[in-house]
Structure 1
Amino acid sequence: MKKNTFKQVGVLGVVALASATACAQGSAEQSSSVQLYGIVDLAYRRTTNEGPATNPGESLSQMVGGGMSQSRWGINVTEDLGGGLKALVNMENRFTANNGANTSPAFQQSWLGLQGGFGRVTFGRQYNILFDLVTSTYASYPYSPYMEIYKPEIGFALGARQNEMIKYMAEVGPVRGALQYSFDANSPTGGKTVGGYLRYAADGLAAGMGYQNYEFASGKKVKAWTLGGSYRTGPWYINLGYGENKVDQLTSPVDFAVLSAMWQGTINGGFGGPAFLAANKRTIYKLGVGYQVTPQLNVAAHYFHAKQTGPVAMADAKANFFTMAADYAFSKRTDAYLEVDHTKLKGAVSLSSAAAVSATNPTGANGAKSRTGFTIGIRHRF
């Protein structure tokens, strides 16, 4: 996305403060920069089978504050330390543009680091290596890594971000590698992670493989890995991938709650019902194709097949996801999009709905086995 410097948005007090601080440092930091960037995305979405368990067939119409992309604003800071060494800072706030509410935590990224001939090392809350690999190597869309409102592939990325992380990345020619480690700080929900990936990208071809685990407070783990690639030639973009989550046998309610937060949600596949947390293994295959019809118009279609299994027969379930999208760029910053999706489940799982959430049904499973969604929206990037 195109990012404009803070001079263009001096009306924001926080950026003005950053500007004043930078100017006070004198000419020694003339090669440093502070940049503000962001996305505002609003869409209308209608979905079927969104009712409570007593009447799951009800449809839902709503305005969503992030159809193709989650709305956000952020600050990037780069300081030239000399000798090829740079200091880096990123703070990124996420919000829902339809009501102005912040996500939790409000800053989905908050990290600093150093970059030089050795590569780049960053510290803080940031994307994990599973998310990095998929979105940089075999993203669903070349102009947006995934559809924010319908992203079953991201449900396998162990939450996509991690607190208290150290991440190291280095590139040699077309090969890039990265490693991550995060602390749990004796958190009651755990949080210690270890992972890494290796990718290759050249001449329109990109491919990579990554592995990461997450350690719960009990010491048990969920282990994930992914493999995939993409190819661009002329107006065509083709991508395919595989992902897997495998979980130790959990008994702690706290551990189950953490796993549920990683896996559940209609945008991540919609699994719910008796089989939801009985599973200890999930897999997903993805295949997509995109075509640039004109310099302004892109179209794409994607198919995902997911499967879960467990120590009891009830845990076995399957899901098929299909989505088609068209995106039209009015300019380099503003585009409009139209998306249609369909979900079909099989087994003891069912779709989740906000109308079905209760103390006895925290996942919101409403018994529905299929859902069709329609989304139309507009996005502005700055």
Structure 2
Amino acid sequence: MKNLDAKRLFALGVVALVSGSAFAQASASSVQLYGIVDVAYRRTNNEGPAGNTAQSLNQLVGGGMSQSRWGLNVSEDLGGGNKALANVENRFGADTGAPNSGATGPYFQQSWVGLQGGYGRVTLGRQYNVLFDLVTSTYASYPYSPYMDVYKPEIGFALGARADNMIKYMAEIGPVRGALQYSFDEKSPTGGKTVGAYLRYAADGLAAGAGYESYKFASGKEVEAWTLGGSYRMGNWYFNAGYGENKVDALTSPTDLAVLGAMWQGTINGGFGGPAFLLANKRTIYKVGAGYQITPQLNLGVHYFHAKQSGASAAADATANFFTMAADYAFSKRTDAYVEVDNTRLKGNVSLSSSAAGGTVNGAKSRTGFTIGLRHRF
């Protein structure tokens, strides 16, 4: 009797396993865990306080080329060419394990759900904005990265790169792709209503596009941003060029100014600081760069950025020149090592910030950085 019961239980177990497997195959669902762990040594000069700027800073950073992260991609086949999609992604500093490389911002930098089919793709939640999508997919500085996380002047013009409470629609017809975004402010004290769109073309090694986005502050005033550019692959060569612009209404609210400051950020995202930083009502940036794949494992890249800001008074006028070059060596498809050198030079009533003075500006007009790191993707 006991043997008979055991056989029945075994048979039921087999049926359950087979049924579960068949159901999984019929629904064609997948859950993918992915991530990047990136740690680098970085040295920068002119990091001392005002009056004694000639000090260097040596640090281990938890994201040199890429910010460390982990995430889940979910996909379910709904039949008829339709899919349900979802994504959550957390970012952290691999040097300390702290979230978001500084314990700021939301736990999930991305958290969205969506549907995809012959009509395109609709996603809802916190996600990348159209400016970031366009630049990183069309004329990224380093197509295998797509930029250096410790030194990324171009991202300081992307209005924060992500937005909360966003609805985004994307459609692709042959080599042409377009997207629209809208996000709700939900009466937030920091604002947050956005409207944006981009259009791009990519075929035969050539990619080009343009995008626009506006952000409305809590006061009702706005910052408008647009960008255009392109890239071209020719054999082992990769060339890219782009332009970006931000125009801002005259802001007086400290809350609005804090939001704008967070968008423009600091030295890694534009290099501006000092009395003129938030006096500007217009900022522009030009970028040009090239890359060369010496071997299947070794890539070289060099990039130049010129940024300028202006305002209602001459005190806001300033310029910045950024230069960066990097070599990346791939040990495998997942693991690579890199070396990068960068230089920043400012002119006008602006200066660089000082780590030795708690991140406040120190009067320095130039800075050179050196980064060497190891990255693993899974």
**What is the TM-score normalised by the length of structure 2?**
0.92
Matched to 1:51, the amino acid is: G
Q: In the alignment, is residue 374 of structure 1 matched against residue 355 of structure 2?
A: no
Q: What is the distance in 2 between the residues matched to 1:271 and 1:155?
A: 10
The residue number in structure 1 matching 2:73 is 76
The residue number in structure 1 matching 2:94 is 97
The residue number in structure 2 matching 1:61 is 58
SS of the aligned residue for 2:342 comes to strand
Q: In the alignment, is residue 35 of structure 1 matched against residue 32 of structure 2?
A: yes
Which residues in structure 2 correspond to 1:27-176 (within 5 Å)?
Answer: 27=24, 29-103=26-100, 104-176=105-177
Matched to 1:245, the amino acid is: N
- 8 Å Cα contact 1:266-1:353 kept in structure 2: no
SS of the aligned residue for 1:280 comes to strand
Shift of 1:29: 4.7
Q: In the alignment, is residue 256 of structure 1 matched against residue 252 of structure 2?
A: no
- 8 Å Cα contact 2:245-2:282 kept in structure 1: yes
Q: What is the distance in 2 between the residues matched to 1:153 and 1:25?
A: 48
Q: What is the distance in 2 between the residues matched to 1:156 and 1:149?
A: 16
The residue number in structure 1 matching 2:183 is 182
SS of the aligned residue for 2:360 comes to coil
Matched to 1:179, the amino acid is: L
Matched to 1:131, the amino acid is: F
SS of the aligned residue for 2:272 comes to coil
Shift of 1:24: 9.3
SS of the aligned residue for 1:187 comes to coil
- Number of matched residues? 356
Matched to 2:111, the amino acid is: S
The residue number in structure 1 matching 2:193 is 192
Would the alpha carbon gap of residues 71 and 29 (structure 1) be closer, same or farther in structure 2, given more than 3 Å must change? farther
Shift of 1:154: 0.3
Q: What is the distance in 2 between the residues matched to 1:213 and 1:275?
A: 23
Q: What is the distance in 1 between the residues matched to 2:198 and 2:262?
A: 24
The residue number in structure 1 matching 2:291 is 290
Q: What is the distance in 1 between the residues matched to 2:44 and 2:313?
A: 32
Point out where structure 2 has 5 or more consecutive residues left out of the alignment: 1-16
Tell me the alpha carbon deviations over residues 170-202 of structure 1, each in whole angstroms, 9 at most, x when there is no partner.
000000000000000110000000000000000
- 8 Å Cα contact 2:271-2:320 kept in structure 1: no
- Stretches of 4+ aligned residues off by more than 2 angstroms: 23-30, 353-357
Q: What is the distance in 2 between the residues matched to 1:148 and 1:116?
A: 33
Percentage of matched positions with identical amino acids: 78
SS of the aligned residue for 1:102 comes to coil
Matched to 2:165, the amino acid is: E
RMSD: 1.3
The residue number in structure 2 matching 1:12 is none
Tell me the alpha carbon deviations over residues 191-236 of structure 1, each in whole angstroms, 9 at most, x when there is no partner.
0000000000000000000000100000000000000000001000
> Please, which of 361, 373, 377 is the counterpart of residue 365 of structure 1?
361
Q: Indicate the structure (1 or 2) with the bigger Cα radius of gyration.
A: 2
- 8 Å Cα contact 2:27-2:78 kept in structure 1: no
Shift of 1:28: 6.3
- 8 Å Cα contact 1:250-1:256 kept in structure 2: yes
The residue number in structure 2 matching 1:305 is 306
Matched to 2:29, the amino acid is: S
Shift of 1:55: 1.6
SS of the aligned residue for 1:229 comes to strand
Q: What is the distance in 2 between the residues matched to 1:353 and 1:126?
A: 32
**What is the TM-score normalised by the length of structure 1?**
0.91
- 8 Å Cα contact 2:285-2:307 kept in structure 1: yes
SS of the aligned residue for 1:155 comes to helix
The residue number in structure 2 matching 1:245 is 246
The residue number in structure 1 matching 2:277 is 276
The residue number in structure 1 matching 2:4 is none
- 8 Å Cα contact 2:68-2:93 kept in structure 1: yes
Shift of 1:266: 1.6
Shift of 1:354: 2.7
Tell me the alpha carbon deviations over residues 342-372 of structure 1, each in whole angstroms, 9 at most, x when there is no partner.
0000000001123223xxxxx6111000000
Q: What is the distance in 1 between the residues matched to 2:341 and 2:144?
A: 17
SS of the aligned residue for 2:137 comes to helix
Q: What is the distance in 2 between the residues matched to 1:269 and 1:245?
A: 12
Shift of 1:116: 0.2
Q: What is the distance in 2 between the residues matched to 1:356 and 1:32?
A: 52
